[in-house]
Every structure is written in structure tokens, then in C-alpha cells.
């Protein structure tokens, strides 16, 4: 396996436990490539990679880069001062960004890159599931673990490689896919891109990297995606669109939402889609119906049968951390979700309301990145106002240094609910007990954010079970 003609050899991944990096590690291991790596803390992902044959270190140190290492791969969260990166440069080893390694493992396959500000993981997962149902057996790399397989990557035997493409730092410009999907384009990752215009421009650059013989599937409902599609057409690329707009090539009609999922009518080029007029995606939310349409249209453009694709979508079981049910205690259901942009938060809370039925929706939200908190505090507040009770944690810094005065209070102050229903709780250890105190039977409780808020779900379930009036846990 090569990059720019050079063999990768033994690959060491710094940040191997991350969603994107662990997927690359899985594929390299499946192909017999020696793999080592490190992560800041232990995890089930690290344990799974060890079981597959990787050497995984917990903690970062120069000595982790063994004498047999030939190539080092770094995730976007790893800084140049990391001792393993410093050691790699000292020894003159190639240091690749994650996307360059992804491009290497995609080489030789018909690559389909799924991009967009929101919905990438779910759309990628749906397309993989749909292709598998057709017997296509794609290789894939997803930013989350598929429910059921508990894997975020696989080296299928088919000719297609489906990959989630990351726009956060522009690294998806290292990919040159046969085809791509753009679900939407909104302002985000302004710490990297600077402005909303710059975000739009980087997506235009991305679609110009698609193979001239390939295609782009793009949302007809999202203004940013429409702009991107126009740039693709100007470059001479075949563009197909989906959405509820009348202009969409694949149009969703008669969308029916319920707590168990969404059903919609598929109209292709003005006529009901042969053999698949009605599509059922068994996860709630209108946004998930749109993601399923993107997956269906991409599958059709790849030449797969509509009946097989829709059957696969109908069996879609979801992805970890995408409205994932973590347990139920005393009539309170606890879910966890990765939403970390105002648009995502609002979409998921609308879906949660469907699932909650007559119960209330309580959310514990952890802002992700200081830069995103500053840029979108008011928008986060408005989105969180769709819940009945809101607890806001402090900012999860990730790759950023703390910024004085920028805390989760900015978001909490912007939530348009009565003061007794909104709380900023900077003490993470107090969150589970506070949520349990507020919850009552019939409620839906949601932990939300891209940081370590996901680890709170077991604590919340324990806190619910510890209440005197609540029966034991059912998990």
C-alpha cells in the first residue's frame, strides 16, 4: 500500500482510538499491514484493535514510535508538539494526515466520499447497509460504529469503497473519489476556515476533485449544497439531487414520521420509483429520511437495484452515538447523541419529541470547542429551547486552548425557557444527580455533544436507579 508511490510499511497512528483513525487501522490490519498506535486513554475501541493484532499504547511518548515504524499518521486532534510527532520528524519518517491515509486505503476502489456539515455518518452508514443488502460487499470507513457489528470500518471484497469525508480542516481535499454526496453546507469549523464563505469555497474545491466520469449526489433543499452542486455542474460533472424540493431528481413525498422511523414516497424524475415507491427508514426524524434519500440516490447512480437498496435502508439499525438508547430506569429512557451544531441539535430534539410521545424531553448538552461556542451560542440556545429541561455543561476543549470568559453559560443564558428549567452546571460530577432529580416517569433524557458527555449515560442510569422511589435498572 502506497502514498505518492512510497510504501507505507509499518504504520503508527497517533490518536488511534478516534472514530476516523480506528477505521483506517481496522482496514490496514485486515490487509496484513503491521499497525501500532497510541491514544490518551483506554477504550473499548483500543481493546478491539488489540484483539485484531494492533499494538496500542495508552498515553503519548516518543518511545511509542518503535524502531520498526515506517509511517506515522496523525488525527486532526493531534498537535505538532505531540512527542510522537516530534520523534517521527526527528527520524525523518513520513507523517501523514488522516485523510491521506484514508486516500491510500481507498486507492484501487471506486471511492464514494460522503461529505456535508451534518448527516455524514448516518448517510455513509445507510449507503453501506444498502449496498450490503444488494450483495455489493463494499469496503467502508465511517465516523461511528454500526449498531450490530460494533465496527466503523471493513475491507469488503467489492469494488466500491464508501468513506465519510471530513471537512473540518479541509483534509477531504486530499481525496479524489469516483463519486461524492454533499448533504448540506453550513458555517462550521470557523476556527479552521475563518468564515462561512470559506467553508462554501472548500466544498466547491472538494467536488472539483471528483472523477470526471463519476457523479455528485447533492441536496436540493439546502442552499449551501445547491451552490456546491452549481460549481460541480460548471466543472462538467454529472449531478443528481434529492430532497423535498420540486426540482429534485429524487423527490421525497408524503413524508410520515413516527416514533419508530419515517416513511416517504420516492419519486424519481417525476415518476414513482419502480420497485421501491415507498421507503421506510427505521430511525426517527425527518433529517434521517433525507439522509436515506441521499443514500438511495447514490446507490442508484452506482447501478444497484432500487428494491435491494430500499430493503437495506429498511433494515438500517443505526450508529453508536446517533440517538442511541443507553437504557431505561423507572420509566425514564436515556439516549445519547453526537449533535454538536445548532442545526443538528434542533433536528435531533424534534425527533426526540416524537419518541417521547406525551413525556417531557430533558437534555444535557456539552458545547464542543470554544470557537464554536462563541460563534453559535445564540443559535444553540434557540435549538435547546425545543426541550423541556436543559442542563448545559462547560465547554469540551478538544484541540483548543481555553479562552477566558467563554463557558457553557453563554449557551445556557441564550435558552428561551424559564430560569428554573435551564441550568449551567460546570461541575461535571454533579450532572447525573441533577438530571435524575429533574426526571420523572415518561420522560426522555438525552445526553448530547461531541465530547465526553457520552460517558455520563451510565452515571445517569445509576443515579436514576438510586432514587428511593425508582425500581431497579433495565439496561
Helix (H, G, I), strand (E, B) or coil at 282: coil
Residue 383 C-beta-side C-alpha neighbours within 13 Å: 25
User: Which conformational region is residue 443 in: left (phi greater than 0), alpha (psi within -120 to 50 degrees), or beta?
Assistant: beta
Grid cell locating 65: 514510535
Residues pairing with 448 in the sheet: 337, 365
Grid cell locating 58: 495508552
CB-neighbour burial class of residue 441 (10 A; exposed 0-12, middle 13-18, buried 19+): exposed
Catalytic residue check, 124 = no
Nearest 10 degrees: Cα torsion 319, 322, 326, 327: -110
Catalytic position from the list 84, 87, 164, 186: 164
Catalytic position from the list 71, 121, 129, 241: 121
Q: Cα 71 from chain centroid?
A: 27
Q: If we measure between CA atoms, which residue out of 109, 176, 130, 106 comes closest to residue 297?
A: 130
DSSP 324: E
How far, in Å, CA of 3 to CA of 1, rounded? Answer: 7
Q: Identify whether the C-beta of residue 67 lies closer than 8 Å to the C-beta of residue 51.
A: no
DSSP 416-436: -S-GGGEEE---GGGHHHHHH
How far, in Å, CA of 293 to CA of 311, rounded? Answer: 13
Sign of the torsion angle spanned by Cα atoms 223, 170, 181, 338 = negative
Q: Identify whether the C-beta of residue 449 lies closer than 8 Å to the C-beta of residue 366.
A: yes
Catalytic position from the list 76, 84, 120, 344: 120
Catalytic residue check, 120 = yes
How many residues make up the chain in this entry?
475
> 415 to each of 186, 312, 337, 430, how far by Cα in Å?
22, 39, 19, 20
> 215 to each of 204, 218, 309, how far by Cα in Å?
14, 10, 18
Catalytic residue check, 129 = no
Catalytic residues: 120-121, 164
Amino acid at each position: 500500500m502506497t502514498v505518492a508511490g512510497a510504501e507505507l510499511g509499518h504504520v503508527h497512528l497517533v490518536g488511534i482510538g478516534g472514530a476516523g483513525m480506528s477505521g483506517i487501522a481496522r482496514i490496514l490490519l485486515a490487509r496484513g499491514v503491521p499497525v501500532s498506535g497510541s491514544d490518551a486513554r483506554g477504550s473499548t475501541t483500543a481493546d478491539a484493535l488489540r484483539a485484531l493484532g494492533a499494538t496500542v499504547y495508552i498515553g503519548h511518548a516518543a518511545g511509542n514510535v518503535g524502531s520498526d515504524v515506517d509511517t506515522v499518521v496523525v488525527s486532526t486532534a493531534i498537535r505538532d508538539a505531540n512527542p510522537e510527532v516530534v520523534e517521527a520528524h526527528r527520524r525523518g519518517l513520513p507523517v501523514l494526515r488522516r485523510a491521506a491515509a484514508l486516500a491510500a486505503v481507498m486507492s484501487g476502489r471506486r471511492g464514494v466520499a460522503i461529505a456535508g456539515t451534518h448527516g455524514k455518518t448516518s448517510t455513509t452508514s445507510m449507503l453501506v447497509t444498502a449496498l450490503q443488502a444488494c450483495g455489493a460487499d463494499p469496503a467502508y470507513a465511517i465516523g461511528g460504529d454500526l449498531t450490530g457489528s460494533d465496527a466503523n470500518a471493513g475491507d469488503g471484497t467489492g469494488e466500491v469503497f464508501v468513506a465519510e469525508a471530513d471537512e473540518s480542516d479541509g483534509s477531504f481535499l486530499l481525496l479524489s473519489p469516483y463519486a461524492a454526496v454533499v448533504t448540506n453546507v453550513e458555517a462550521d469549523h470557523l476556527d479552521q476556515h475563518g468564515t462561512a464563505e470559506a467553508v462554501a469555497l472548500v466544498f466547491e474545491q472538494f467536488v472539483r476533485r471528483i472523477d470526471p466520469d463519476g457523479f455528485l449526489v447533492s441536496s436540493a433543499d439546502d442552499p449551501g449544497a445547491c451552490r456546491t452542486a452549481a460549481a460541480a455542474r460548471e466543472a462538467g460533472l454529472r449531478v443528481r439531487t434529492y430532497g423535498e424540493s420540486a426540482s429534485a431528481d429524487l423527490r421525497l413525498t408524503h413524508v410520515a414520521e413516527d416514533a419508530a422511523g419515517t416513511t416517504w414516497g420516492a419519486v424519481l424524475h417525476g415518476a414513482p420509483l419502480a420497485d421501491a415507491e415507498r421507503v421506510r427508514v427505521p430511525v426517527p426524524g425527518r433529517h434521517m429520511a433525507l439522509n436515506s434519500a441521499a443514500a438511495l440516490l447514490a446507490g442508484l447512480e452506482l447501478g444497484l437495484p432500487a428494491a435491494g437498496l430500499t430493503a437495506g435502508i429498511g433494515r438500517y439499525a443505526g450508529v453508536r452515538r446517533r440517538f442511541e438508547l443507553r437504557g431505561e430506569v423507572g420509566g425514564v429512557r436515556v439516549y445519547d447523541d453526537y449533535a454538536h451544531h445548532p442545526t443538528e441539535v434542533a433536528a435531533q430534539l424534534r425527533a426526540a419529541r416524537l419518541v417521547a410521545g406525551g413525556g417531557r424531553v430533558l437534555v444535557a448538552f456539552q458545547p464542543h470547542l470554544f470557537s464554536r461556542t462563541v460563534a453559535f451560542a445564540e443559535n444553540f440556545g434557540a435549538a435547546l429551547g425545543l426541550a423541556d429541561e436543559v442542563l448545559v455543561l462547560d465547554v469540551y476543549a478538544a484541540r483548543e486552548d481555553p479562552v477566558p470568559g467563554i463557558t457553557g453559560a453563554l449557551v445556557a443564558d441564550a435558552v428561551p425557557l424559564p430560569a428554573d428549567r435551564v441550568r449551567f452546571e460546570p461541575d461535571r460530577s454533579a450532572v447525573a444527580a441533577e438530571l435524575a432529580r429533574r426526571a420523572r416517569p415518561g420522560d426522555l433524557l438525552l445526553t448530547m455533544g461531541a465530547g465526553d458527555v457520552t460517558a455520563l449515560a451510565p452515571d445517569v442510569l445509576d443515579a436514576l436507579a438510586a432514587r428511593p422511589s425508582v425500581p431497579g435498572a433495565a439496561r
